[in-house]
Amino acid sequence: MSDQQSFPGTTAPIRQREGRLGLRTLILIRWIAVAGQTATILIVHLGFGFKLPVVACLFVVALTALSNLMLSVRMPVRARLGNVGATLLLGFDMLQLGMLLYLTGGLENPFAILILAPVTVAATILARGPTLALTILAMVLVTLLAFFRAPLPWTGDTVSLPFPYALGVWTALCVASAFIAAYIWSVADEARRMSDALAATEASLNRAQNLSALGGLAAAAAHELGSPLATIAVVAKELSREVPEDSPFAEDVALLISQSDRCRDILAGLSQRPDMADHRPLERLKFSVLAAQACEPYRGGEVALDIVSDSAPDSTEPEAPESHEFIHGVGNIIQNAVQFASKRVTLLLYWDDRVVRLTVQDDGPGFSAAVLASIGEPYISTRGGDQGHMGLGVFIAQTLLETGGAELAFANRDGAEVVIRWPRDMFERSLDWPRSV
């Protein structure tokens, strides 16, 4: 079980980050930038008396304004930009800012730090490749601005910063670009992964709940339809005795009887299907019965499933209502064990007055060190180089079981071992477990 994170039915495709940035939001931010740049240029030129190349600077600002107008006209305002579109726009904004800085002193301009803004936005919303490309572009612009720039027109004589200081500014901006991009992208990606995994967990649990609700509805419908169907069958048989065989209605009566019998068989089969069984959420079941129900879908294969009880002396077996969280969560752990076991999976049940514990052991190869280090996290690649399996099973199981107060521990002991532990009072109060994640 060296790479046990793949579960049939719980794999997920590689997550797409297309369409994460709304065009309306980006247009609004760019209009704010246009207004801020225009106000800054005019205040510095007119208010502080710096002789800036105002016409050239305002022309550069007008490029952003013009591109904003074109976006507003040519694209729906509610459109969402993918990686390519967002990268192109952020790259354009970065080049526009670089042109402004070139006209106003390069790295000697205190506003040079704004070159980090597009990098930060990219790291938050874009994939690794576009973020890396924009980070490199920022470093290239910072390097060019260190050597090529119009002098900043201070009042009086022009001032040039000493080379060590200019080198320090260049180093700080390059390091900040790389660090901010790496740090923010890592944090944002972790948040996206967790959000995707929680959504998958909720969808999995909702699917199980809907199937159970459908089963209860089908069983109730079968029960309610039984009485009127029996009445129809009785009346049809009485008609068959009264209608002569040569009557034109005899064939219709025979058809009515055959179809009522068919409906009765369908309803009987429907009410007897295990997945359509009447769900009784208030019925309390023994711990061993709950474990057996969690095992039931995985019996009958090549791997044997054993349940062994090892309770404390004079301790009564705990009882709890059947819940989707328990059945689905424990079922995922059992499914994982069966998938990687060689011949046998054993469930060890233990309880006393304080603790309820379920241990799932298999005779497979066990967890690898890499998997043990990050087990329970979503989207762990299961096999070396196999990107088609992004395991969610352990994450879903852990999330579901922890909602009921359980603690999970993973270890290797002659195979893989998963220990699920509840405080007894919390296990027996599982009526209060939430019905969604």
Among the three residues 253, 276, 299, which one is the final residue of a domain in this structure?
276
Out of 276, 298, 315, a domain closes at 276
Q: Are residues 239 and 313 in the same domain?
A: no
Which residue reads 């990107």 in tokens? Answer: 387
- Is the pLDDT at 108 greater than 60, yes or no? yes
Return the pLDDT at 86.
87
CA distance 74 to 356: 63
Give the residue, 247 or 156, on which the prediction is more confident.
Answer: 247
Residue 202: pLDDT above 80? no
> Does the structure show a pLDDT above 60 at 117?
yes
Q: Do residues 159 and 292 both lie within one domain?
A: no
pTM metric for this prediction:
0.50
- Is the domain of 67 the same as that of 85? yes
Name the domain boundary from 226, 258, 276.
276
- Say yes or no: 76 and 111 in one domain: yes
Alpha-carbon distances of 263 from 233, 250, 272, 383, rounded to whole Å: 10, 20, 14, 50
Residue 386 pLDDT > 70, yes or no? no
- The pLDDT score that the predictor gives to residue 390 is 39
Question: Which pLDDT score, from 0 to 100, does residue 17 have?
Answer: 44
Residue type, 269: G
261-269 long-range contacts (CB < 8 A, ≥24 apart) are 261/233, 263/225, 263/229, 264/226, 264/229, 264/230, 264/233, 267/222, 267/225, 267/226, 267/229, 268/222
222-240 pLDDT, tens digit each: 666 777 877 888 888 888 8
Q: What's the mean pLDDT in 174-180?
A: 91
Tally the domains of the chain: 3
CA 100 to chain centre: 41
Residue 3 lies in a domain: no
Give the pLDDT band of residue 205 (cuts 50, 70, 90): low
194 plus 289 within the same structural domain? no
Q: Which residue has the tokens 């603790």?
A: 355
Measure the N-to-C terminal CA separation of the chain; round to a whole number of Å.
Answer: 28
CB of 52 within 8 A of CB of 44?
yes
392: containing domain: 284-432
3 state SS of 384: coil
- Is the same domain home to 149 and 264? no
